[in-house]
Structure 1
Amino acid sequence: MSYIAHRTECGCEQPLLDHLCGTAQRASTFAQPFGAASLAYILGIAHDIGKYSDAFQKRIRGQNLTTDHSTAGAQELNRLCGALPAYCVAGHHAGLPDGGARTDTDVQPTLCGRLKKRSAPYGAFSEEVSLSKPSFAQPHLLGQGGFTVSFWVRMLFSCLVDADFLDTEAFMHSGTPPRGLALDTGLLTDKLEHFIAPWWDAETPLNRTRCEILRACLGAGRAQTPGLFTLTVPTGGGKTVASLAFALEHAKAHGKRRILYVIPFTSIIEQTSDKFREILGDEQVLEHHSNVDFDDNEQEPDQARKKLAAENWDMPVIVTTAVQFFESLFSNRPSRCRKLHNLADSVIIFDEAQTFPLPYLLPCVRSIAELAVNYGASCVLCTATQPALAPLFAAAAPTLGIREIAPPVDSSVFRRVTFQHLGQLSDSELASRLNDCEQVLCIVGTRKQAQTVFHLLTPEGSFHLSTLMTPDHRREVLKKIRARLGAGLPCRVVSTSLIEAGVDVDFPTVYRAEAGLDSEVQAAGRCNREGRRPVESSMVYLFTTDSAYTAHLPHSLRRPLEVAREVARKHPEPDSPEAIKRYFTTLYQYSGSALDQNDIVAKLEEGARTCSYPFRWVAEAFHIIENDTRAVLIPRTDEARVLSGQLRGGQYSRNLFRRSGKESVSIYPQHFEALLARGALEVPDENTAILTDLSLYDDQTGLALLSDTGVGIFL
């Protein structure tokens, strides 16, 4: 019999041996940067040996049979190398399984259960391939070792599943489709030098200080050895370009393979991507997040390449979200894990590092430490309000150390605002003060208060922003806001916190409801952003809201608010280095076990004792954005109406859902049920909902918050 791995609709057949060898060679190359090439090669050879069974060969040739071809390779590797490689092969289609217990039976989906399962005879594999125990470099164990080993298994899994996808893709398309570009640091540093060349003849103290920071980043990129860094640059210091300068020079000096930017919010990722495309060229930059469209039928070569590269991050510069980055690191699914091996030997910039999610801070810190210690990545924590993470990193990896890139600078050069605390303001008092201003931004903590205050404003020149508006709607409103600010026209904006981190707007006055100190400082960054106005007249007013808006705050929001109030008693200037350090140190101390609310690190560390790792459980437990919201498509535009028609017709695809995300609002269950009870929703299936009563979506404030949905809905 000739054994085949795949068969196309036109009858072309891929020999099984070719697929095993092709996958093995690719996996070996992917694992080379972290010293596991030989082990990855054996994973590739073993992953599909179950396809040597008569049952599979009959099925691939058209018979209606059900057969499991993953378990055989897992059992062979378990006998040869132990359980760790077996996880990868057992999960290369369904996802990394939980380890389970020795008492598990062969019907349970754990690794222990799979290893007891009886496979269809596949002994013919020995006629074509042989398996031998490989030698490979062990990772440096951090902590109790369990987290390190589980991370290493997931990286090996990434090498295997990406290699499997790519080899299959090459056969199905009769050749390898155009994928990502290699990082050409010589070309890109030349482009950067051309872009920044006009900056060096700076005349103002502010621009001279920006050049000082930029020069330090260029020098540190060349001189510093790989590892963990901080880049602490005051708002307005040019950290976006400065961090890119460090990354390019560092990659050039140390042979790094790619550069990743991890950004917390989609509201700022687009402007960062636009800046990088302006500097480096569109073909060099992959923007990857939920709001990016990749046409399924894209014919233009660069865009077709990006669509494929989004699957495994095979591009020179990748700009993505913190949600995409960290949830992939803790996923067990092949489609999400494919990209992970491409993090090895990379430069990774974490922008706005103070926004790392508090309930998952320890798992995030541990994963960054693993990348820096065991996978050759240089990681940079970049922000104006540097979180006090040194003790957490020291506990995770005592020998790692953190180095600051930016030079000491005169912070007074960047002082652009004056803070003042007003005490408690009612909604009517707040609205009255806003109406007295020609141009003003007000940031509040709940979507309910944002709508309430907005409706008290003078209609002319007043705007509202919150996530009750679709992403495309918010972009339209921001465009209008920037135009009015630039023209000097009246412009009063009430927004939730979505506007405060990196959104490029410049107001003469800002009001900010009390929040965590980092949020207050970020809000101040929207005031006198360009430094064209006197500091003493560029006011940032902090105020306390009515207790009705804060009574139901979750701990994740209440604790930062309480710590900020405590710090303010001794440090009235929230943007002072002393206040920032005290705030984060106190916040992390008070949070304790809440820094890992689901005990993810502890559960993985326990695997060092049992060799049973809960990969599937962790994937379900690690969700930066909790899965208790429902997306509602708002058919307010022609495109949204077309999308709603396609969804009603059952035309489901990943691209369709991505496109509909730009025209949707995510709401909590009680809000969803209220809309459903009112007959305002059509629900074609469990994943889709369409607003049918468009009177509930206002062109100024977005989706109505019905009275029985309460408060406590944020962002």
Structure 2
Amino acid sequence: MIVAHKSADGRLQPLEEHLRNVAEYAKRFSEVFEAGEYAYVLGLAHDIGKYSAEFQEYLLHEGTGGDHSTAGAKELFRLRMLPASLCAAGHHAGLPDGGGPGDPAGLPTWQGRLKKQVHPYAAYRREITLEAVSRPPEANGFRIAFFTRMLFSALVDADFLDTEAFMQSGAVQRGGYASILSLFDALKQYIDPWLHPQGDVNPINRKRTEILKCCLEAGKGKRGLKSLTVPTGGGKTIASLAFALQHAVQHGLSRVIYVIPYTSIIEQTAKVFRAIVGAENVLEYHANVSFDQQGDDDRKTEKLRLSAENWDAPIIVTTSVQFFESLYANRTSRCRKLHNIANSVVIFDEAQMLPVDYLTPCVRAIWELVEMYGITAVLCTATQPSLGKLFPKTAKIEELCPNTQEMFHFFRRTQLKHIGTLTIEKLAGQMAMQTQVLAIVNTRKQAAELYQALPAGGRFHLSTLMTPLMRRWTLRNIRRRLRQGLVCRVVATSLIEAGVDVDFPTVFRAEAGLDSIIQAAGRCNREGKRPVDESAVYIFRTEERIPPRMQQNVSIFKNEIQLSFSDVASLEAIQAYFDALHNLKGDLLDRKKIVDAFERGRNGCMLPFAQVAKEFRLIEENTKSVFIPLGQRAKRLAQRLQQGECSRSLLRKAGRYMVNVYDQHFQELYRANDLVVVADGLAVLTNLRLYDTKGTGLSLEADAGKALFV
């Protein structure tokens, strides 16, 4: 018997069985993008290198083994199935760069691998027949690369699943989620009191219900590219879910995926969804999730942990970073889930937060998923950026709630007022005269200084110098005090702007881009409980230099929008702002020329999968992580980290206690012996005096010297 795997208890899996199982899985996964038969041949070929006598010796008697991936790549290349050949070559180490015809045999590119000498594997012909499956040729290099990556995802997931089933004797139970139809029934039950109210309904809730009905009706429409432009307070979270589930039922789509810029919004959104459809049907996927904390039912938690590997849950809530970086990744672990994006509804919440430097590759990926992989994409925001011109001219963006202008007027809750320059002391003085007030500044340095200048009673601070766990606790306390009418003066960085559900009578916002200012206004009079003329958002200039990353945005707002529009919060002003921002950036909307790398190659290399995967980083700040070991649970995790444990599960649990700092701050703390490094870019704080649990979080003033703030 030719063997594929040997289990710990000595059981053997026939190689033919493994190849046919993987082929069937890959076929099923790829049928949604019309590549089932093509993927089937890839599945049959991917491991034929294991037919070599040397690999069998390795597997059964601990011999040397050697490369078993290149054989499948060679055979698929012989059949002229080039994308499949690339996938076979990379199904363990990751998709390689395509390379060029002159690449020597020793080079790790696909072209180099094809010239590599491998152990004889012709024995596969006794059990497996490989016949070519052709696909229409594509002149578009980007489209070829995208297809290759989706095909790679189907193969990798298929390989993992069959191997797991054999090694665990079928003990791992995946799936078993509620159907999309039953989730839609749960949603209808949840929203029924809004659709059929008893008694009087206040005007705000009546308008929210109108938006909800509009989205439900739009869900019956055709698949494609959509937008949902709903002002803050319009209930877009549930309205967009209503559209998504209605649409998924209408068209037989597999799942709903929410793509959100900040983890704080993800946690808030996932909590709402769990209340509607049940916690076991919602996968919240980001660095701060610990699957042992999502519920008391170990079976349900284990199911979500498994779903994190390949996104087979019916509702996924994840970050923009995770979503887009995975679409341009080449590693097996990052790509495994991609095929499950096909045939889904994907909601891009807070779409205005898509990073400008990567806007073209992000938009290109969205359109490719819409046009070739059967998704319906919804650009969902309170301040719709002018993305339409970045899509192909053939793309039609349908607005789910067409009466956008009326909605903006109705949900207008604030007045924007520019009040000139304020020092930290003057701003603190103005805030001290307010019982409940929020100030949003541009740097963590300003936030810390302003917080210290406020009266001690009822003051709060929110920034990324606090652990996610501390930020969550602080937000809970802020919301409680706001509800109870207690003194609540909050200083925050921009992390509070996008989607964080708080409602202040007065907001101060340091000069920023118009999108940030509008988002800040969404934290003022959010529920419309106060008259508009008593709900002010004060825009002020600081004495500190505008951070470089914001300078162009601020310049456009000051020099174009403020000078041209009496109402800078109007839809027309928002459109003009984003048009100017995108025109200003020009070619810099794809600063690293990601799309061009696949269209034309890079450095003589065709299809540079590995190169692009290294370069495509939505968050490029040179930061390192500091673990804060406060509390018994955190101390136990710190002990495991210091003992050298570095599993993905451990790091996910530890994420709730992490603070990310710039490299110069990390080095300052290290030189002062305030932390101990446990891995590359990760340290445990040893001087706990530097972490203020009731205020600003991690101080960047090391005991041995003064660190810098950014």
State the TM-score, normalized to the length of structure 1: 0.95
Separation in 1, partners of 2:170, 2:568? 58
Q: How many Å apart are 1:181 and its aligned residue?
A: 4.0
Alignment of 1:37 onto 2:40: no
Separation in 2, partners of 1:311, 1:167? 14
Match of 2:157 in 1: 162
SS state at 1:630 partner? strand
Alignment of 1:539 onto 2:536: yes
Match of 2:619 in 1: 625
Separation in 1, partners of 2:12, 2:636? 40
SS state at 1:511 partner? strand
Letter of the aligned partner of 1:280 in structure 2? Answer: V
What CA deviation, in whole Å up to 9, does each residue of 1:101-158 have, x standing for no partner? 22211111111110110001111111110110014466xx6xx711111001000000
Match of 2:395 in 1: 400
Q: How many Å apart are 1:627 and its aligned residue?
A: 5.9
Letter of the aligned partner of 1:680 in structure 2? Answer: D
Alignment of 1:11 onto 2:10: yes
Summarize the alignment of residues 45-444 of structure 1 with structure 2, pairs less than 5 Å apart. 45-136=44-135, 145-175=140-170, 177-181=172-176, 184-200=179-195, 201=197, 203-222=201-220, 224-295=221-292, 300-394=298-392, 398-408=393-403, 409-444=406-441
Summarize the alignment of residues 296-695 of structure 1 with structure 2, pairs less than 5 Å apart. 300-394=298-392, 398-408=393-403, 409-546=406-543, 548-550=544-546, 553-554=547-548, 556-565=549-558, 566-607=560-601, 612-626=606-620, 628-695=622-689
User: Taking structure 1 as reference, are residues 152 and 462 closer, same or farther at Cα in structure 2, changes over 3 Å only?
Assistant: same
Letter of the aligned partner of 1:240 in structure 2? Answer: T
Letter of the aligned partner of 1:655 in structure 2? Answer: S
SS state at 1:131 partner? coil
Letter of the aligned partner of 1:528 in structure 2? Answer: N
Separation in 1, partners of 2:591, 2:708? 25
Q: How many Å apart are 1:373 and its aligned residue?
A: 0.2
Separation in 1, partners of 2:568, 2:307? 42
Q: How many Å apart are 1:66 and its aligned residue?
A: 4.2
SS state at 1:61 partner? helix
Q: How many Å apart are 1:469 and its aligned residue?
A: 0.7
Separation in 2, partners of 1:687, 1:452? 28
Q: Is the 8 A contact 1:180 1:306 kept in 2?
A: no
Q: How many Å apart are 1:300 and its aligned residue?
A: 2.3
Separation in 1, partners of 2:82, 2:134? 16
User: Taking structure 1 as reference, are residues 611 and 669 closer, same or farther at Cα in structure 2, changes over 3 Å only?
Assistant: closer
What CA deviation, in whole Å up to 9, does each residue of 1:70-98 have, x standing for no partner? 00100111111243221100000000001
Separation in 2, partners of 1:608, 1:86? 20
Separation in 2, partners of 1:705, 1:420? 34
Letter of the aligned partner of 1:466 in structure 2? Answer: S
User: Taking structure 1 as reference, are residues 276 and 372 closer, same or farther at Cα in structure 2, changes over 3 Å only?
Assistant: same
Letter of the aligned partner of 1:487 in structure 2? Answer: Q
SS state at 1:575 partner? coil
Separation in 2, partners of 1:173, 1:92? 21
User: Taking structure 1 as reference, are residues 545 and 608 closer, same or farther at Cα in structure 2, changes over 3 Å only?
Assistant: closer
Alignment of 1:705 onto 2:669: no
Which runs of no fewer than 5 residues in structure 1 stay unpaired? none
Superposition CA RMSD, Å: 1.8
Q: How many Å apart are 1:609 and its aligned residue?
A: 13
What CA deviation, in whole Å up to 9, does each residue of 1:358-401 have, x standing for no partner? 1111100000000000001000000010010000013xxx3221
Q: How many Å apart are 1:186 and its aligned residue?
A: 2.5
What CA deviation, in whole Å up to 9, does each residue of 1:263-303 have, x standing for no partner? 11001111111111111111221111111112499972221
User: Taking structure 1 as reference, are residues 609 and 79 closer, same or farther at Cα in structure 2, changes over 3 Å only?
Assistant: farther
SS state at 2:434 partner? coil
User: Taking structure 1 as reference, are residues 176 and 368 closer, same or farther at Cα in structure 2, changes over 3 Å only?
Assistant: farther
State the TM-score, normalized to the length of structure 2: 0.96
Q: How many Å apart are 1:234 and its aligned residue?
A: 0.8
Separation in 1, partners of 2:74, 2:706? 55
User: Taking structure 1 as reference, are residues 344 and 183 closer, same or farther at Cα in structure 2, changes over 3 Å only?
Assistant: farther
Letter of the aligned partner of 1:71 in structure 2? Answer: T
Which runs of no fewer than 5 residues in structure 2 stay unpaired? none
Letter of the aligned partner of 1:516 in structure 2? Answer: G
Query: Which deviates the most, 410-419 or 241-250?
Result: 410-419
SS state at 1:261 partner? strand
Separation in 1, partners of 2:144, 2:397? 23
Q: How many Å apart are 1:607 and its aligned residue?
A: 4.4
Percent of paired sites with the same residue: 51
User: Taking structure 1 as reference, are residues 675 and 423 closer, same or farther at Cα in structure 2, changes over 3 Å only?
Assistant: same
Separation in 2, partners of 1:154, 1:618? 12
What CA deviation, in whole Å up to 9, does each residue of 1:40-89 have, x standing for no partner? 00110000000001111011113241400000100111111243221100
Letter of the aligned partner of 1:486 in structure 2? Answer: R
Separation in 2, partners of 1:27, 1:183? 23
Separation in 2, partners of 1:183, 1:375? 23
Letter of the aligned partner of 1:667 in structure 2? Answer: V
Separation in 1, partners of 2:407, 2:72? 61
Letter of the aligned partner of 1:470 in structure 2? Answer: T
Q: Is the 8 A contact 2:257 2:317 kept in 1?
A: yes
SS state at 1:81 partner? coil
Q: How many Å apart are 1:640 and its aligned residue?
A: 1.5
Q: Is the 8 A contact 1:228 1:400 kept in 2?
A: yes
SS state at 1:73 partner? helix
Letter of the aligned partner of 2:688 in structure 1? Answer: L
User: Taking structure 1 as reference, are residues 608 and 691 closer, same or farther at Cα in structure 2, changes over 3 Å only?
Assistant: closer
SS state at 1:278 partner? helix
Q: Is the 8 A contact 1:158 1:339 kept in 2?
A: yes
Query: Which deviates the most, 580-589 or 411-420?
Result: 411-420
Number of paired residues?
699
Separation in 1, partners of 2:323, 2:330? 14
Separation in 2, partners of 1:349, 1:181? 24
Letter of the aligned partner of 1:147 in structure 2? Answer: F
Separation in 2, partners of 1:12, 1:410? 64
Separation in 1, partners of 2:433, 2:105? 72
Q: Where in structure 1 do 4 or more consecutive aligned residues deviate above 3 Å?
A: 135-138, 295-299, 607-611, 706-711
What CA deviation, in whole Å up to 9, does each residue of 1:634-693 have, x standing for no partner? 112222111111111122211111111110111111111111111111113324301111
Letter of the aligned partner of 1:260 in structure 2? Answer: I
